Structure 1
C-alpha cells in the first residue's frame, strides 16, 4: 500500500511528525514501512510556464520554437521537441540551472542555431513512471489546467513535493488497504482523532430504485449489493489534485468518473465499478453464478471463458462484469457516456479469489475483496463517489439507493481483563493504560473494574479473540517498553544431539569447500515444486496462498537454488557456488500433515578456481562437485557405503548425471543441468546435487579409527583394462577391491582412454593399485598372486582384458 503523506494529513493531524519519523513509529507499532520515497528528491528549478507563441524551428522539422512566460520580467525562448506543444498551454518548465532526476542539469544551449533557455518537461522527465502518466500525455509534455499561474512551483502543483510511505502489509491487516484505515492506525499511534470526509450533495426527485432493480441469486457469494444512479455526467479529465494523488498511489488516471471510483477505492478501501447505464442493456441488475462456458470481454479487451464457480454481474441475461475482479468492455465508461450505474457491493473473498486465479487477473479491487472489506463502508463509499461525480462530472444523483441485502454485520464484542493482558505479556500494564489504548484504537469500551468489554468495529475484521486484543495492547503500548527478563528456572548444561552435530559438520564442511549458504522459501509454485524431486508424491497445497508463486510446499531445494544462481550471474559475477540445508515436504494425503525430510543441495557455476596470483583458472565441472560429495561422505564415515551410478533424470544432462546410493538405496543425485534449462535461466555450465540428508544422518557410520604409520614400504602396480564402453569405472573398481585381498589398500582411477587405437565400442580404464602390510615387507610373488586374481575377476565379470 502506497500512502501519500500529504493526503494522509487530510484525515489525521500529523503536525510535529515528518514522514520519516512517522514511518519509524508505524514500523515500531507492527506494520513495516518498507520505504519512504521523496518524490521531488534531486529536482530543483521547475516552474509553471505559459506558452505565448509557438512556431516551427526554421532548420528542424521535429523541433518547435516557443516563447514561454515563466513568471519573470521577460519571457524566454525554449526549443521543444514534444509533438503536442501548442500556443496557450500551461506547461512544466525546467529553467536554466535547474536539476532533473539523475542529476541532469539544464544549461543554456543552441539547438540548430536557435537559443534555448530551459526545457519544457514531460512527467517522465520529472521522475514519474511512464505507466502512471495519463495516456494523452504519455508521448509528450504534460499540460496544466488553464488556471495554473506562471512562475509558481510546478512540483507543488503536481504534488511532487510529497513523500510516499510504502507499507508492507500482512494479509490480516486489510483495514490498512485504504487511506482512512491508515489514518485510524496513525491516529491510534499518535493519540489523535480521524477526520472523515463530509458526505452531502443534492439528490434529484427521481428514485434510484425506480431506475434499476437489483436481484441477487447467490446470497452467500453476494450478501449485499447497492447501486447509485448518476445522470447527465460530462466525461472529462479529473481535477489535477485527484490525478496526482492517484499517480502517487500507483494508479494511472483515465477520466473523471473512473478516477473517482479509484479515488474512493483508495480512500475507503471499498472497490466500486461504474457502468455506462445506456450500454448496460437493461434496467435490471442480476447477480448470479456464471453458466459453464459463458464468455465475457473484459476491460482489457480479452475474451474470457467463465466457469460455474464465477460470480458475474448481468443485465438479466448477458454478463457485464466478473464480480470483484474486472468489468466488461460492453458497458465501459467512455467519452460519450452520459448516465452512470455505480456499483458498490460486498462479495465473498473466496469466490473473488478463485475467479481472479482462474483468469490470471489481479486488480486493486480483487486484492481488497480477497483479504476482506468493511461491510459497513459499502454504502458510504457509494455515497462519497456520488458526491464527487456530482461535483466534478456535473452529474445529477438520483435519490436513494437501489439495493438488496441479505445479511447484517454486527460488531464483534470481546471481554478481557487487564490481568489477562499482563499475564500474557509478562509485564505490568495498568487498567488505565489498557483503556487508553482501546480508546485510541477507536474501540467502544465498557469497563467493570479491570474487565473491559470491547466492541470491535467491522473495519477491524482481524480482531476476533482475546489474544488479538492482547496483541493490540502490546503493539500500541510499545514493544520497546516490554522489559527483557531472563526466565527463573533450573537449567542443565546443553549439548547437541548426534543429528544436530552431524548437520553442523555438513554445514561446516560445505562452507569450507567454498560453497556459500543460501536460505530460500519452503513455499513455491506448482511449476517448480516437483522438479528434481527425489520422491514422487502429490503436492501439498496451501488453502490460502499469498500468491501463485507461493502456493505449494516444495519437494526439492534445487529450483530455488537455480534462481539464486541466476540472480547472482545477472549481477556480473563470474562464479557462484551455493548450498542449502532445508526441509522438503512429502504428502500423506489431503487429510494428513505432510512428512518433513531434511535435504542438502548445492549448485556451482562459472569459474571454480580463479587465483590471479597463481595464474590459474579452472571452470566448474562434474568432478569438482563429485569430489566435494566424496569428501562429505568421508566426513560422515559413509564413504565405503556410497556408490555413484550413471542415470538419466528430467532436467539434467543425459550423459553427465549420476544417482547416489547408500547401502543400495537411492540417497540423491549429482550432475549437470540440461543445456535447455541452463539456457532458459541464462546460466553457463552448471552442476548441482541434492541429497536426502535425513537418510545420511540416520545411517550407521564407520567410527574414526587410528592406524599406525607403516614402517615398511608399499608396492604400487598400474593396470590398464580394456572393456566395454558401458562398463562403469566404479563397478570395475569394486570388483578389483573384492578380488585383490587384504594386502590391497588403495585403488584409484588415473586414466580413461577412448580412441582410434581401440576397437569400436571399447574403452581403456587405468587403475593404480597400492599394496601394503604394516608388519613386513611384501614380496613380488604376493603382489603377483593378487594381480592374477584381479585379472581373472575382471575378465569373468566384465570381459576385460589387459591393454597391450
Structure 2
C-alpha cells in the first residue's frame, strides 16, 4: 500500500523526513517495502512560460524559445514539437540536476545559445503508460518561477507498506498515521466529519433490506443535485501518488475515503435503481456485467447488491455497468457497508477479479468504521460543492460489534519480555494505540473494535514491546540444559544419500512441490499411468502450480534445460523431495524420491554406477536391475528398472528423444528416479567389517559366445548360483561383436575370482565349480566357450 508522505503529515505534526519516519515505523512493526522519492534528484527546475517561439536559423527541426521564469527571460533551444506560445512548462535552468544525475548546462545548439532545457515527464522521472509524448504542459493557472517539485507534489515522496492480514486497521493513510503518532508519541489529528443536510429524509426515497448475515452492516446516504466533473487537483494528486487513477469527482471522493480510512464505498445512480429499493442477498446463478465491461458468472456463494428487479453490484468487489455514475447523473445513493472477509476473498478469487475494495474487505474490516467513512464522504461532497446531502441515514446493523477487554499483569509482561518497564509507561503506550486502560491488580484494557488482532495477553505484550522498542530490549542468554537432538533413521539415511550424491560429483537442486498437469504430456507419460491421478490444489497461484507433483522428472528436466541452454554442457544434478500420490483418501501418500540427472560426456553406465554406488553405501539388500522397455519417458533400449527385494524401487535411463525435443534439448540426458522409502526399508544402518583374507585367491577368465538377446545378468546369476560360496567376485571385462562372431551372437568375457575364507582352494575344487558353471550356461543359455 502506497502512502503519500505529505498526506500522512496532514494527520500528525512531525518534524521528520520521510526516511526517519519509515525507519521508525519499521522498528515498531510496520513493514516498509520501499521509500519512493521521485523528486529527490531534481534541483533548479522551475515553472516557466513560453512567450515567444521562432524557427532555428540553422536547423529545421529545432525551435528557439524565449521563456519567462519570473526573475528573467531566458533563451532555450528545443526539438519538441508539442509546444506553443503561452504554454507553461518545466524548465531546467543552467546548473540544474535531473533524475539519474543528469546535469544541465548552458551551451550552443547549431550556433544558437541555449540556457537550459524544457522538460518532459520522462526527463523528470514521472513517465508512465499514460504520459504525453513531448514536453510536459502544465495547467494555464500554474504560477511561474516556482520549484517544479512544489507544483507536482514531489517534495514528500511515498512510503510503500506491506500490510499483513491481521492489521486491517493499517490499510489506510489514517491507519498509518495512527501508527506514526503512536510510534513518535505525538497527537493524531481528528478528521473533519461535519456536514449539513437538507430537510428531506432518505427513507422517503429508498428502502434497504439485508437478507444475509454475511453483510454485517449496510449504510446509505443520498446526495442530490450532483455536478459530475473533475475533482480538484490536490485530490487528483493524492490519488495518483497512492496509485489510483482519478476518474471524476464522485468516484474520486469514494476512492479518496477508501484510501484515507481503509473503508471502501460505492456510488449508485439513483435513477437506475428499480423500485427504489436495495436488497443485499446471496447471488443466483446469473451473468452480470461489472464496471470494467466484463460479463461474469455469479453463483450462490457470492453476496450481491440488488434493486427490486436486478443485480447492480457484486458486494465488496465491484459495481455494475447498469447503475454506474455518468455525467448525466443527478442523484446518487452512497453505499458504505461491511462484508464478510472470507466470502469476499473467495468471490474475488472465483471471478478472477481483485480490486482495491476486495483487498480491504477480505481482511475483515471493522463494521464501526462504516459510519465514520460515510460521514467523511458526505463532508467532502459538501466541501467540494459536488452535491447536496439529503437528511437521514439508512443503517442496517443488527449485531453491533463492541470493544472487548483483555487483562494482563504488568509483572507478567516484564517477565515475558525480559524488561523492566514501569506500569505508567505501559499504560501510556497502550493509550497511544487508542486503548483505554484501567489499573488495578492487573491492567484492564479496553481494546477498540478496529484492533481485533489483540485478543490475549501475549498480544498486549507485543504492542508494548514494539512501542518500547525491540532494539532496546536487553539480550539475554538462554537458561537451561541443552539436549542434543537425535536424528531419525530416515533423516540419517537422507543425509547419507546427499553425501553420496555430492561425492559422485553432483550438485543438489530444489524444485517446487507443485506443477502444471500439462507436464505429463510434455514427458510423454502414458494416459493410463497412475501418476496422472493427481492431487489438485484448491487455491493455486495459477495453472503452472495447480497440482501436487507425482514425479520429480518434469521439474528436473526443466532445471537441466535451463542449464544446458545456457551453455552448461557438463551437468550433474540431484534432487530429494516428496511426491504426492493420490490414493483416494483424505490425505495423499507422501513419499521421498531421489532424482538424478546427468548430461555431457556420459552414458547410461555412468548413471547406473551412481545408483550402484548409493546401493553399496546404504548396504541395500537384494538390489538388482532389469531391462525396462515399456516406460514411454525413456529410450526403450537404454532404460532399466531397479528392483529391491523383488519390489519396484525406481527407474533409470536415457530420456526419450521425443521428450528431449519437447524441452528444446539436443544433448542426451540421463535420469534416474528412485523411491527412497523402498530403498531405506532394505538398507542396513550397521556396518559389519571382516578381516582381510588370509588365503590366496584364484583368478579364472571365461569367454562365452551367446545370442544377442541373452542378458549378462542371467549369465552372472548362473555363475553365482553354481559358485558354491567360493566365488568372491565376478567382473565383466569385454563384450564384443564383429569379425569371427556369427551374426546374431556376441562374445562376453568375465574374470571370476575364487577364494575361501577358511582354506586354500585346490585346483580340483575350483575346476569342479568352474565346469559346473560352464555346463549350466551351455544347457540354459546355449552358451559356448570360445
Structure-2 residue corresponding to 1:73 = 72
Residue 443 of structure 2 is aligned to residue 460 of structure 1: no
- CA drift of 1:777 comes to 8.6
Q: How far apart are residue 645 of structure 1 and its match?
A: 5.6
CA shift for structure 1 position 27: 3.2
Q: Which moved more, 1:58-67 or 1:595-604?
A: 58-67
Shift of 1:421: 2.8
CA gap of 1:667–1:768, structure 2 versus 1, over 3 A, is same
Match of residue 788 from structure 1: 774
How far does residue 311 in structure 1 lie from its aligned partner after superposition?
A: 1.4
On the 8 A contact 1:739/1:789 being kept in 2, the answer is no
| Partners of 2:227 and 2:386 within 8 A in 1 | yes
Match of 1:268 in 2: 261
Describe the shift of the 1:264–1:496 C-alpha distance in structure 2 as closer, same or farther (beyond 3 A).
same
The aligned residue for residue 49 of structure 2 is 50
Displacement of 1:42 in angstroms is 4.6
Is the 1:600–1:692 contact (alpha carbons within 8 Å) kept by the matching residues of 2?
Answer: yes
CA distance in 2, matches of 1:652, 1:97: 69
Match for residue 496 of structure 2?
A: 505
Q: CA deviation at 1:190?
A: 2.4
Quote the residue 2:683 is aligned against. 700
Q: Tell me how far apart the structure 1 counterparts of residues 455 and 22 of structure 2 sit (CA, whole Å).
A: 27
Contact 1:714–1:777 at 8 Å: present in 2 too? no
In the TM superposition, residue 150 of structure 1 has moved relative to its aligned partner by 2.8
1:570-609 map, 5 Å: 579-582=574-577, 594=587, 597=590, 599-602=592-595
**The residue matched to 2:708 in structure 1 has which SS?**
strand
Moved more, 664-673 or 170-179: 664-673
Q: Decide whether the 8 Å contact of 1:577 with 1:603 is kept in 2.
A: yes
Change (3 A) 1:100 1:490: closer
Distance 1:216 1:645 in 2: 70
1:772 aligned residue: 753
Please give the alpha-carbon distance, in whole angstroms, between the structure 1 residues aligned to 2:699 and 2:512. 53
Tell me, in whole angstroms, the C-alpha distance in 2 between the residues paired with 1:350 and 1:166.
25
Describe the shift of the 1:632–1:267 C-alpha distance in structure 2 as closer, same or farther (beyond 3 A): farther
**Residue in structure 2 matched with residue 446 of structure 1 by the alignment:** 438
Q: Secondary structure at the match of 2:408?
A: strand
Distance 2:144 2:671 in 1: 64
TM-superposed CA distance for 1:267, in Å, is: 1.4
Picking from 332, 346, 356, the partner of 1:354 is 346
1:636-655 correspondence runs (5 A): 636-638=618-620, 641=623, 643=625, 646=628
Matching residue of 1:8: 8
Alignment partners' CA distance in 2, 1:126 and 1:410? 50
- Which residue of 612, 624, 641 corresponds with 1:630? 612
Aligned to 1:745: 729
CA distance in 1, matches of 2:154, 2:762: 89
Which residue is equivalent to 1:613? none
Which consecutive residues of structure 2, in runs of 5 or more, have no partner in the other structure? none
**Preserved CA contact (<8 Å) 1:630 1:639:** no
Taking a change above 3 Å as real, the CA distance of residues 43 and 59 of structure 1, as seen in their structure-2 partners, is: same
CA shift digits 1:7-34 (9 cap, x unpaired) = 3222234434x44444343333334333
Structure 1 residues 154 and 478: CA distance shift in structure 2, 3 A: same
Matched ranges for 1:246-325 at <5 A: 246-280=239-273, 283-292=276-285, 294-325=286-317
| Contact 1:236-1:393 at 8 Å conserved across structures | no
- 1:665 aligns to 2:647 (yes or no): yes
User: Matched residue of 2:368: which SS?
Assistant: helix
Conserved in 2, the CA contact under 8 Å of 1:714 and 1:778? no
Structure 1 counterpart of 2:187, from 193, 203, 206: 193
Cα separation, partners in 2 of 1:397 and 1:124, compared to 1, 3 Å: farther
Moved more, 712-721 or 317-326: 712-721
Change (3 A) 1:416 1:120: same
SS in 2 for 1:407: coil
Checking the alignment, whether the CA contact within 8 Å between 1:737 and 1:744 is kept in structure 2 is no
- Secondary structure at the aligned position of 2:438 is classed as strand
Rounded Cα–Cα distance in structure 2 between residues aligned with 1:343 and 1:620: 70
Spell out, residue by residue over 1:506-548, the C-alpha distance to the aligned partner (whole angstroms, 9 max, x if none).
23333444444455666x5786999999978774868x99999
For residue 772 of structure 1, give the secondary structure of its aligned residue in structure 2: strand
- Change over 3 Å in CA distance of 1:691–1:88 after alignment to 2: farther
Distance 1:758 1:22 in 2: 88
Q: CA RMSD in A?
A: 4.7
**In 2, Cα distance between the equivalents of 1:129 and 1:676?**
47
- After superposition, give the CA deviation of every residue in 1:564-591 in whole Å (9 maximum; x if it has no partner): 778888999777765554556667988x
Q: How does 1:80-119 map to 2 (within 5 A)?
A: 80-81=79-80, 85=83, 87-95=85-93, 100-102=98-100
**In the alignment, does 2:200 pair up with 1:206?**
yes
Taking the aligned partners of 1:661 and 1:446, their CA distance within structure 2 comes to 72
Q: Which whole-Å CA distance do the structure 1 matches of 2:594 and 2:582 have between them? A: 20
Q: Which moved more, 1:116-125 or 1:354-363?
A: 116-125
Change (3 A) 1:518 1:3: farther
353-362 or 312-321, larger mean C-alpha shift: 312-321
Residues 357/744 of structure 1: CA separation in 2 closer, same or farther (3 Å cut): same
Cα 1:337–1:701 shift into 2, 3 Å? same
Larger radius of gyration: 2
How many angstroms does 1:195 deviate by? Answer: 2.0
The structure-2 alpha-carbon separation of the partners of 1:168 and 1:342, relative to structure 1 and needing over 3 Å to count, comes to same
Mapping 1:152-191, distance limit 5 Å? 152-191=146-185
Question: Following TM superposition, by how much is the alpha carbon of 1:684 offset from its aligned partner in structure 2, in angstroms?
Answer: 7.6
- What TM-score do you get using the length of structure 2 for normalisation? 0.81
Residue range with higher mean Cα deviation, 780-789 or 332-341:
780-789
Determine the C-alpha separation between the residues in 1 that align with 2:66 and 2:253.
Answer: 36
Q: Distance in 2 between matches of 1:352 and 1:333?
A: 23
- Could you say if the C-alpha distance between residues 240 and 706 of structure 1 is closer, same or farther in structure 2, counting changes exceeding 3 Å? farther
Whether the 8 Å contact between 2:220 and 2:336 is mirrored in structure 1 is yes
Deviations 1:211-264 (A, max 9, x none): 33222222x121222223333444444344433433333333333333332222
Equivalent-residue separation in structure 1 for 2:736 and 2:149 (angstroms): 73
Q: Secondary structure at the match of 1:375?
A: coil
Q: CA deviation at 1:407?
A: 2.4
Change (3 A) 1:601 1:784: closer
SS at structure 2 position matched to 1:442: coil
2:77/2:109 contact within 8 Å kept? no
Change in CA separation of 1:545 and 1:737 when aligned onto 2, cut-off 3 Å: same
* CA–CA distance in structure 1, aligned partners of residues 662 and 190 of structure 2: 52
- The unaligned stretches of length 5 or more in structure 1 are 609-617
Please say which of residues 678-687 and 358-367 is displaced more in the overlay: 678-687
